[in-house]
Amino acid sequence: MSNVLIIKHGSLGDLIQANGAIKDIKKFYENRKVFLLTSKPYAIFMSECPFVDGVIIDKRLPRWNIFYLNNLKKILAKYDFTKVFDLQNSSRSKFYRRFIINHASWSSTETILEPGEKKADFDQEPVLDRMEIQLKKSGIETNFTKNIDLTWAICDISRTIKQYANGEYILLFPFCSEKHQNKKWPYFKELIDRVKKDYKNKYSILIAPGPNEIQEAMSLNGKVVLNNNESVDIKTLVSLIFKAKFVISNDTGPAHIASHLDKNGLALFGSHTSAKKVSIENYNFKALSVKNLKDLKVETVLEEIKSNLN
C-alpha cells in the first residue's frame, strides 16, 4: 500500500502548530502509513508523536549539493509516496515537488489557490487558517487543525519541579533566534526582580533555555532549568510549560506551546509580525503588542501578570 508524506521542517513553533493538521491527516489516512519529513532537531520529539508512523530526517543541505539531493530522492522513493502534504510551503519544498518527489499528488498552498489568487496574499492570513483551508481543499476533515492536541508530549517531570521550584512557578522565555533580534524584549531581568519583590517567595522564577541560550539565561536572576548542564528535551519543555502557573515569552516556539496548551500567560510582540497572523492567542494565553519592544515597560507587563495571578 502506498504511503503519505508530510513535509514540515521547523522551526519548533511552526512544528507545534502543525500538530493539529498532522493529526487530521492521519485520521483521514488511518489505513495508510503517514511519515513526516523534518529537520534533525525535531526528529526524536516527533518520532514519539502518535499521529505519524515514522520520521525521515532532512539535513536541508544546499541545493547545489547534487549528491545529497540524489540520496534523499532515493530514500524517499523507497517509501512509495503517492500523496504529499507540504505544510512547510517554502522555496525548498517547492523545489522538492519539481525534482525530488515529482510523481506524487501534491497538496500545498500553491496547489489550492483560487484562480487569480496570489500566494503572497494568501500568506497574509493567519497560519492556522491557511492550514485549515489547505487541508479542506485537499478533502481532509479538519477537526484538530485549530484544536491542537499536545497531550501526547506531556511527561512526568515531578523530580525536575522538585529540584527547581518551591511549589508553583512562573516560567520565562527571554530568548529569540540570532537572526530575529527584533523579537526580543530587553527587560526580562528587571521583570524578574520586580516579580520577586512584589510576590516575595510565592512563586519560583524558572528559565528554560535552548542549547545556545544557556549562558544568557545564567545572567538573569532566575533558576535555570537544565539536564546534566544541557538544555532539556522538547517533551520536558512541553511539560514544564504545562505545569507552569504563568508563562511569559517572546514570540518563540515555547510561546506557541503555551498557547496550544492554553496556559495563563503572555507573548510579547513588536512590529515584526502580528499575534493574529501567527495564531498565537488562545482563551488564556494572550499577546501584548507594541510597535517597538524597547518601549514596552516592565510595569505594563507586571500589571498584566498581576491581573491574571491575583
Domain ranges of the chain: 3-152, 159-309
* Higher local confidence (pLDDT), 307 or 273: 307
Taking CA atoms, 274 is separated from 45, 255, 279, in Å, by 28, 14, 9
- Mean pLDDT value of segment 108-117: 90
Burial profile 256-271: b = 16 or more Cβ within 10 angstroms, e = fewer: bbbbbbebbbbbbbbe
For 21, residues 6+ apart whose C-beta sits below 8 A from its C-beta are: 85, 87, 131, 132, 134, 135, 142, 144, 145
Architecture of 3-152 per CATH?
Answer: 3-Layer(aba) Sandwich (3.40)
pTM reported for the whole predicted model? 0.93
When the pLDDT of each residue in the chain is averaged and rounded to a whole number, the result is 94
**pLDDT tens per residue across span 113-136:** 988 889 888 988 999 999 999 999
Task: Please give the average per-residue pLDDT across 82-109, as a whole number.
Answer: 95
Long-range pairs of 273-280 with CB within 8 A, sequence gap ≥ 24:
276/126, 277/124, 277/125, 277/126, 277/127, 278/13, 278/126, 278/127, 278/251, 279/17, 279/126, 279/127, 279/128, 279/129, 279/146, 280/251, 280/255, 280/256
Residue 272 scores a pLDDT above 90: no
Fold match flag (3-152 vs 159-309): yes
Query: What CATH architecture applies to the domain 159-309?
Result: 3-Layer(aba) Sandwich (3.40)
Rounded CA-CA distance 267/287 in Å is 5
Site of grid cell 510597535: 291
103: pLDDT strictly greater than 80? yes
